[in-house]
Amino acid sequence: MQQARLADTSNSVKSGQAKISLVLSDGSLFEHPGKFNFANRQVDPQTGTILFQAAFPNPEKILRPGQFARIKVVLEEVEGGLLIPQRCVKELQGVHQVYAINANNEIELKNVKLGIKVGGMWMVENGLKPGETIVFEGLNLVRPGQKVQPEKVEIPQELMNF
């Protein structure tokens, strides 16, 4: 289980106000934040995308017409959000569950309420507490009440790319 902040909290975001950052083609972050100018409401049926327009100040003349870049938008910041890998979650008839390991090394099935998806992770809104251990591998091999010998594993970095 991983505890993480979704974004830098040094500049708090007011409700309804997004933080827009520009990620340049070399992976570096452009130092000036942008502002939304326009959002099209129509979804392109070919690509499944929506057109957004943002403006960025360019006092150092680093940005050029036609230059490739990505934008990173933080719509909301969650202080102390609890993230778990998506692969740890079972869904059965709309109920999300995870296998947790209690202090006696026994498997418990816990219902969780999930929030937003962040990369390969889900934010847990209810049902788990920070510090609880959950099953990451072998979900099909465990059953509630079963004794296990847990082995700690690191969450793969590719799940944490957000």
**Tens digit of pLDDT for each residue in 123-158?**
999 999 988 999 998 888 999 999 999 888 887 777
CB neighbour list of residue 63: distance below 8 Å, 6 or more residues apart: 22, 30, 56, 69
One domain for residues 56 and 86: no
Q: How many domains does the chain have?
A: 2
pLDDT of residue 11: 37
Between residues 25 and 60, which one has the greater pLDDT? 60
Picking from 74, 107, 140, the residue at the C-terminal end of a domain is 74
Q: 3-state class of 139 per DSSP?
A: helix
**Domain residues for 28?**
17-74
Sign of the CA dihedral with 99 first, then 100, 103, and 105 last = positive
pLDDT of residue 127: 94
Is residue 97 scored above 90 in pLDDT?
Answer: yes
- Across the chain, mean pLDDT equals 83
Spatial separation of the C-alpha atoms in residues 97 and 92, rounded to whole Å = 8
Is residue 31 scored above 70 in pLDDT?
Answer: yes
**Rounded-to-10 torsion of CA 88, 81, 49, 67:** -120
One domain for residues 86 and 151: yes
Picking from 74, 106, 141, the residue at the C-terminal end of a domain is 74
pLDDT of residue 125: 93
One domain for residues 136 and 66: no
Spatial separation of the C-alpha atoms in residues 36 and 150, rounded to whole Å = 47
One domain for residues 48 and 107: no
Q: Per-residue pLDDT tens for 49-69? A: 888 888 899 999 989 888 878
One domain for residues 32 and 88: no
Asked whether residue 3 is domain-assigned, the answer is: no
One domain for residues 69 and 87: no
Contact between 102 and 92 under an 8 Å Cβ cutoff? The reply is: no
Q: Which two tokens stand for residue 67?
A: 């230059």
The amino acid present at 40, given as its one-letter code, is N
